[in-house]
Amino acid sequence: MKILVTGAAGFIGYHVSTRLLQLGHDVIGLDNLNDYYDPALKKARLAELVSAAFTDVRADIADQAAMTRVFSEERPDAVLNLAAETHVDRSLDGPRAFVDTNIVGTFVLLETARQFITALPPAERERFRFLHVSTDEVYGTLASTGQFSEETPYAPNSPYAASKASADHLARAYFHSYGVPVLITNCSNNYGPYQFPEKLIPLMITNAIDGKDLPVYGDGLNVRDWLYVEDCCRAIDAVLHSGRSGEVYNIGSRAEKTNLEIVTTLLDLLNRPHSLIKFVTDRLGHDRRYATDPDKIETELGWHPQETFESGIQKTVRWYQDNAIWIARARSGEYLQYYERMYGET
């Protein structure tokens, strides 16, 4: 199977591409390398994907001409859309990029796919799949009980979440209006190796390794459901190959943790004092709790996470301990300026 993976140099995109190559698929890895901090980090991920089965394409999903060319030349059997601006804090600082990539880019990709499959022979058109990868943040926030299901109404509370919700609605519309065989996944919070240290877990690990303060928003009691990235990739692969077109599948691990629990666990694993915790002004519109019900994907597709939070977090900590050079590069340049603006010198 020849699969176009957009955002292939991103965190989940890299891990998904790795899995697909291991399973014997041909992968067209598309990325514009327009990283907010350092495109060299994305290039480092791409370098590990190099093989005869991997085609490296540098393009922007919002570029209609480029997307038409990619579909025409590469003729994919399926699309995995993972290209996105993803960080909530950055969406609060500059929402325009999130609209351009997450909404406009998804539209261009869907429209290109629609035109592409129209000209396919019936058998190839029947096989074609378009999986749009989204987030549980589109559902908004939960009280102390309950879980997000596939029927939960959308109520996004950040520009990032709103842009992903808009893209989800476009994807659904292209299935119902044009018959594009779209599937949608809404994943809980991913973590694991190669994640950029703007996100909670790698930020806290890298700060703790360096003996720096660990900035925790508000009271630290915001709850998220944590999913090891390789389990997420297994779920995406299951939906791509076995999911029903037009359906939404929530991906979660039932591993709810407060941010404060995450931070104290990491400090304990790294033998650092809890006194490094520094409470900072809360994020604007900070959702209090996410909890994603994976019953549908478990029941219909037989997917279950292989990692517990305990095993996944230990693997993650070990990877960051063993990759000091990557961490140093990730924390230099524009990221360092961004970090100091957000949290102050530590």
What's the pLDDT tens digit per position in 18-68?
Answer: 999 999 999 999 999 876 556 677 888 888 898 999 999 999 999 999 999
* Catalytic choice (31, 137, 198, 237): 137
Residue 207, helix vs strand vs coil:
helix
Residue 37 annotated among the catalytic residues of the structure = no
Residue predicted with more confidence, 344 or 109? 109
* Catalytic choice (37, 139, 160, 320): 160
Residue 334 annotated among the catalytic residues of the structure = no
| pLDDT over 90 percentage in the chain | 83
| pLDDT over 70 percentage in the chain | 94
* Catalytic choice (26, 60, 136, 293): 136
Tens-digit pLDDT profile for residues 248-275:
999 999 999 999 999 999 999 999 999 9
Residue 160 annotated among the catalytic residues of the structure = yes
CA distances from 103 to 33, 59, 80, 187 (A): 18, 16, 16, 18
pLDDT of residue 334: 55
Report yes or no: 197 and 133 within 8 Å, Cβ to Cβ: no
Which pLDDT band holds residue 346 (cuts at 50, 70, 90)? Answer: very low
Tens-digit pLDDT profile for residues 60-76:
999 999 999 999 999 99
* CA neighbor of 78 nearest in space, from 237, 235, 187, 234: 237
Domains in the chain, please, with CATH? 2-195+226-253+290-311 (3.40.50.720)
Lowest mean pLDDT segment, chosen from 129-133, 139-143, 224-228, 327-331: 327-331
pLDDT of residue 116: 98
CA distances from 146 to 99, 289, 292 (A): 30, 10, 9
Which pLDDT band holds residue 242 (cuts at 50, 70, 90)? Answer: very high
